[in-house]
């Protein structure tokens, strides 16, 4: 089983890197930008087991994120269609 985990700061947490990118782009004339969020993406491949999603949840919650400042989204990757819900 393959999974994609996106990790980003919670909305109430200041992201100085995203703010710097946003300001730089506005200075270059991209004035329509309202907000930028920078995230980390992890791709995991696990042996096929019935509790794979539970294992990925545990990894994301306890090892890949800081629960005080970050949120995560897990997507199961379909081998034929890419990430479910996206056209990757």
Taking the domains of the chain in order of start, what are their residue ranges? Answer: 2-79
Supply the pTM of this predicted model: 0.78
17-65: per-residue pLDDT in tens? 999 999 999 999 999 999 999 999 999 998 887 788 899 999 999 999 9
Instruction: Encode 32-62: b = buried (16+ Cβ within 10 Å), e = exposed.
Output: eeeeeeeeeebebeeeeeeebeeebeebbee
88/40: higher pLDDT: 40
Tell me which DSSP letter residue 37 carries.
Answer: -
How sure is the predictor about 79, in pLDDT bands with cuts at 50, 70 and 90? low
CATH number for the domain running over 2-79: 3.30.1280.10
Give 67's contacts (C-beta < 8 A, 6+ positions apart). 61
What does the pLDDT read at residue 75?
96
Tell me which DSSP letter residue 35 carries.
Answer: -
Rounded to whole angstroms, the Cα distance separating 42 from 25 reads 26
């Amino acid at each position: 089983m393959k999974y994609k985990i996106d990790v980003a700061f919670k909305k109430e947490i200041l992201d100085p890197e995203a703010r710097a990118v946003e300001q730089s782009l506005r200075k270059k004339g991209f004035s329509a930008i309202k907000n930028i969020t920078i995230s980390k993406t992890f791709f995991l491949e696990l042996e096929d087991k019935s509790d794979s999603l539970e294992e990925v949840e545990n990894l994301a919650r306890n090892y890949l994120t800081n629960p005080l400042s970050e949120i995560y989204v897990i997507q199961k990757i379909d081998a034929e269609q890419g990430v479910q819900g996206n056209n990757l």
